Structure 1
Amino acid sequence: MEPKRAGRPRRNASAAPPEPERGYHHGNLRRALLDAALALFAERGTFDFTFRELARAADVTHNAPYRHFHGKEDLLHALRAEGLARLAELEHEALLSAGHDPRARVAALGEAYVRFAVGEPAVFRLVLTYPIAEAGPEARGAESYALLERAIEEGRQKGVVRTDLSARELALAAWSLVHGIASLLVSGHVPAGPKRIKGYVALLSSVFFEGASAGAPAPRGYG
């Protein structure tokens, strides 16, 4: 006679299923970590937090950040690259509606830059004021700066912008103007608002082209 096989142990119907480990089944762990890092930066003004603190803020296990980032520099590079990609996207959209006039295109890029700064101040401060060692082109704003330089070069080719200074030199001057007003707006030193932003950019664009237009006198003390 065949021996009777032992049946499977009955499962306790009242027992609750085990809870998954925090962070293990996170829907989008990388996104959660990036958002938590930005929130901590906005709160503290620095990136002096540890990965344990980041994990706690994202409500994941303490070693979860290392699944996506080798260390804090890697995390910061990712945040910068993502922020600059959003800035470049806004600037591309601005150029589409600006038409072909070089003055309008430069002004549109400036307004997109300022609106990005005001709309995402924590990202703006990270992207453009926080030093990061050995950042690649995608984390240094290469695309955004190239768009501005290209718009100015188009003006040079059309005879609207002076040619005794390079497009790169003129782009630096234009960037300095819009970065200045963007920083003042983000820090609260000047009042913000859509109409004010448009007005600030229009004024700065006028100032820029006063010196950058073809036939303008050479800047004294430069070069």
Structure 2
Amino acid sequence: MPKRGYHHGNLRQALVDAALQLIEAKGPTGFTLSEAAKQAGVTPAAVYRHFEGRDDLIAEAARQGYEIFADLMEFAYQKGQPSALAAFSATGRAYLAFARKHPGHYIAMFESGISVNRTVELAAVSTRANAVMEKAAADLSEHIPMDKRPPASMFSAHIWALSHGVVELFARNSPGRASPFPADELLETGIGIYLRGLGLIKPDQSD
């Protein structure tokens, strides 16, 4: 097999791409650095020129995933403007869309056990992604009386948790679990129930 990393001058990215394929196929702990090296077409020793171990490789995959995720969240937020409700709902849907389109990145970010504080760069981009949903929550919170208004961080965390639960239980083919409703519908109705509870949408209003 040709050593693509050397030939293209981007061995580091070739290893990340190989890791993403292996993560998707075997899970974050189901492959070795040697397998990643073989997938990338290089010797195992070459891996250590860029990564100290498998966790470092997964952390870089997660960092790149958060970059994509943050950009997608920001795009969804901007697309929903000027409606605070539309912008907020769009960020929830963006989570589901990301998990479907980038499963390897999603697993590296949320299922690998790698801390977002492992590197400064990973922490920074994770914070950027969180900030988009908090910003959307803060915008929408302006429509709630002060005495009933939850902190924007709590508001966004509730929707993040709801989105994550739908993804984990019903959108990623969890063994033994099946839903009679599409994941998109579950998320939409769940967000709707939450927002109605806060008085942000009327009982007969679609979110």
Please, what TM-score do these two structures have when normalized by structure 1? Answer: 0.75
Give the distance between the partners of 2:104 and 2:146, measured in 1 at CA.
34
> 1:175 and 2:163 equivalent?
no
Cα 1:24/1:192, change in 2 over 3 Å: farther
8 Å Cα contact 1:87/1:144 also seen in 2: yes
Q: Which residue of 2 aligns with 1:128?
A: 110
Distance 1:21 1:39 in 2: 17
**Structure (1 or 2) with the greater helix fraction:** 2
Worse-superposed segment, 47-56 or 158-167: 158-167
* Structure 1 residue runs without a partner (length 5+): 1-19, 216-223
Cα distance between partner residues in 2 of 1:105 and 1:182: 20
The yes-or-no answer on 1:108 pairing with 2:90 is: yes
**Structure whose CA Rg is larger:** 1
Structure 2, unaligned stretches of length 5 or more?
202-207
Q: CA deviation at 1:46?
A: 3.1
Which residue does 1:32 correspond to in 2?
Answer: 14
Separation in structure 1 between the aligned mates of residue 141 and residue 43 of structure 2, nearest angstrom = 55
Percent identity reads: 29
| One-letter amino acid matched to 1:199 | E
By how many angstroms is 1:57 displaced?
1.5
- Decide whether the 8 Å contact of 1:156 with 1:163 is kept in 2: no
Give 1:171 shift: 1.3
Trace 1:135-214 onto structure 2 (pairs within 5 A): 135-136=118-119, 138-139=121-122, 141-159=126-144, 163-183=148-168, 184-187=170-173, 189-190=177-178, 196=182, 198-213=184-199
What is the aligned counterpart of 2:41 among 53, 56, 59?
59
**Is the contact between residue 69 and residue 75 of structure 1 (CA under 8 Å) also seen in structure 2?**
yes
Contact 1:111–1:197, Cα closer than 8 Å, also in 2: no
> TM-score, with normalisation over the residues of structure 2?
0.80
The whole-number CA distance in structure 1 between the counterparts of 2:139 and 2:162 is 20
1:131 shift after superposition: 0.8
Distance 2:148 2:8 in 1: 55
User: Contact 1:155/1:161 (CA < 8 Å) preserved in 2?
Assistant: no
Match runs of 1:2-81 below 5 Å: 23-81=5-63
Contact 1:161 / 1:214 at 8 angstroms: preserved in 2? Answer: no
Give 2:64's match in structure 1, choosing from 65, 82, 87.
82
Q: How many residue pairs end up in the alignment?
A: 194
Give the distance between the partners of 1:55 and 1:161, measured in 2 at CA.
55
